[in-house]
Amino acid sequence: MMKVTLTGTGSPIPDANRAGPSTLVQCAGQNILIDCGRGVAMRLVAAGVPAPFISAILITHLHSDHITDLNDLVTTRWILTPEATPTVVYGPLGTQKVVDGMMAMLTPDQKYRHDHHEDLRIGPGLQVEVHEVVPGDEFMIGDARVIVGRTDHRPVTPTIGFRIEAEGKSVVLAGDTVPCDELDALCLNADIYVQTVLRPDLLELVKQFVPALASRTTDILDYHSNVEDAAKTASRAGVKTLMLTHYVPAMQTGQEADWIALATPHFSGNIVLGPDLTSAEA
């Protein structure tokens, strides 16, 4: 059984009810976290998988909203795990440099805790094992196979998506991307395809009410999939379930049917969206 839980359905814009982008995939006895946005450590507890139980973290790209709480996961894992083991991170080229900077930021805290907790001094301390990966790479997390694919979120580069396969099931975590051939190939016949999306029609309204943000609101349209794009990708690739997340602007309670209505003309499969902790199984 493969379970996919949206541990954060928000975006860079802070929202009272939506944590930043992150998704938990549970399969073959592994707990794999994709991206780690704002509040992810809290949502993981709600999902029943506190930070020390994460097998590996996969990063789609280095935009702040997708990595902002990596430091929280790394620290939480260290202080809550009796025998410290490194946090394992797979990400695009550049991930090591970002993690090095983050570790520098955490140095004072590591000293405070070492000074006060003798047992924390026994292990290797705060450690992150970084694997930088490129499109075409494949690796195993336990018995789960992960395939890395190229995505298109230019000018942000490199960006990658992940296909996770285990026990005959598959899920694709696309991250932020516009539709492209590589994404179609990564998604081919997947059981579940998770896509971050925005709504140009609602952003047009935002533009009218907050003219100062007009140009930034327009800029984001050309490097994200909208709901229709995601539905068309799902249809071309023959996926069974389309999960939408990273709603820009934030989806209000009661609007779910409106969002689904934009997808259904283009995709006849199962469509899943909702609040944080919404899940799907394959």
Summarize as ranges the residues that interact with Zn ion (CB under 5 A): 63, 65, 176
From CA 4, how far away is CA 21, in angstroms rounded?
Answer: 14
| Per-residue tokens: 199 | 């709504």
Nearer residue to Zn ion within complex by CB, 92 or 259? 92
Kindly state the tokens that stand for 120.
């924390």
d(CA 274, CA 282): 18
Spatial CB neighbours of 43, under 8 Å, sequence gap ≥ 6: 7, 8, 19, 22, 276, 277
Residue 122 Cβ vs Zn ion, minimum distance, rounded to whole Å = 39
Residues 6+ apart with CB under 8 A from 141: 30, 32, 55, 56, 88
CB nearer to Zn ion: give 30 or 159. Answer: 159
76 or 245: CB nearest Zn ion = 245
- Minimum distance, C-beta of residue 237 to Zn ion, in the bound complex (Å): 21
- Minimum distance of Zn ion from residue 28's CB (angstroms): 28
Q: Which is nearer to Zn ion, 59 or 239 (CB)?
A: 59
User: What span, in angstroms and rounded, lies between the C-alpha atoms of 55 and 33?
Assistant: 8
Residue 212 has a CB neighbour count (10 Å cut-off) of 8
Q: In angstroms, what CA-CA distances link 194 with 65, 75, 197?
A: 17, 28, 10
Q: In this complex, which beta carbon is closest to Zn ion, that of residue 65 or of residue 152?
A: 65
What the block records as the tokens of 251 is: 């989806």
Min separation Cβ 20 and Zn ion, Å: 8
Q: Is the alpha carbon torsion for 79, 31, 230, 139 positive or negative?
A: positive
- Show the tokens assigned to 240: 């069974």
Least CB distance from residue 48 to Zn ion, whole Å?
A: 25
Least Å from the CB of residue 65 to Zn ion = 5
* Catalytic position from the list 15, 35, 65, 191: 65
Task: Please give the span between the terminal C-alpha atoms of the chain, in angstroms, as a whole number.
Answer: 6
d(CA 85, CA 279): 29
**65 noted as active-site residue:** yes
- The smaller minimum CB distance to Zn ion, of residues 30 and 60, is found at 60
Catalytically active residues, by annotation: 65
